[in-house]
Homo-oligomer: A and B are copies of this chain.
């Protein structure tokens, strides 16, 4: 099932950019958690165009979520939680000219070849709009995580090649409501100038997003194929514009020596009948060793490619294989940042919620609470 993610806590999504709407079904969420539409809406609002920063389009979408099942008297019932977000403000006409054209950098060509036909309006299923359902599903995962003491944040650390860390002190947990979801306040005017220049040139920009999860207990993740970092890489790379996923030291690990990269273990504060996770003097591992969480913060960086819908003319072909010159109109973002930030946060939350439930079995049997 390509439209489902997770084995114990599962999100299945549906919907296209210009159909009736988009939505999803969360299956496997335990009962008894407080959940309402407002909680989900708060996360959804963060990915709205124009929520933060000037890199967004001028479209206005209300993106109002409706819960359809699985919640009774304010609590999850343990049964599937379905939600729907109706599409609004659709200018299908903007896309009619693109029906037979394949836009470079887009999924148009792949869909036409894979399926023999495609819903060409606004990207159809391959539209960035699809990610709203991930954010809604992720909001439900965040509720489960919060109940278990886990928090997730995401922020932009780089835009158009300009790293935020050179302009101010990192403040990842303040990023959510900051323009561009930027790592620091000081870089914002620099990024604004950069974005404005790209817009004038009819061009677009890439960036880097950093995701962090705190409070993740040691022991999550499965050996071999479902290592925590492997499933996180799957989750994050499944978001359209992501071209690289780096865990902890990431790409830099290739240049380091073992004596530098190994994070020394220091004695844990508390002890117990079960072994306790140690302190770690550094965190090159990014909170994951051998595919299993170490108790240290989980830190992942994602490289985001520039938005492929550019205003300057491009060389392309149509479905018939004929060369064409393409000019993309319509309203488009300059950079996937900041709108992609809550999406990557959501995918991280979905992964952790799934891994948390998969690990429960182990403890329950060991501790006789089956």
Q: Interface size for chain A: under 10, 10 to 19, 20 to 34, or 35 or more residues? A: 35 or more
CB-CB under 8 A from A22, the residues of chain B are 69
B303 touches A254 (CB 8 A): yes
CB-CB under 8 A from A20, the residues of chain B are 66-69
CB of A264 closer than 8 Å to a CB of B: yes
Given A2-B222, A303-B251, A356-B370, A115-B14 contact (CB < 8 Å)? no
**Complex-state Cα separation, A309 to B259, whole angstroms:** 9
A104 touches B251 (CB 8 A): no
Q: Smallest CB–CB gap between A312 and chain B, Å?
A: 6
Given A3-B223, A230-B238, A109-B30 contact (CB < 8 Å)? no
Given A261-B105, A364-B360, A31-B116 contact (CB < 8 Å)? yes
Query: Which stretch of A46-54, A164-172, A182-190, A314-322 is in the interface?
Result: A314-322
Q: Apart from A240-B291, A266-B317, what 4 extra A-B contacts exist at CB < 8 Å?
A: A4-B4, A32-B116, A110-B221, A243-B247
**Complex-state Cα separation, A144 to B229, whole angstroms:** 28
CB of A219 closer than 8 Å to a CB of B: yes
**Complex-state Cα separation, A80 to B263, whole angstroms:** 29
B255 touches A206 (CB 8 A): yes
B25 touches A278 (CB 8 A): no
CB of A70 closer than 8 Å to a CB of B: yes
Given A224-B3, A364-B369, A247-B238 contact (CB < 8 Å)? no
Interface centre among A118, A227, A259 (most CB of B within 10 A): A259
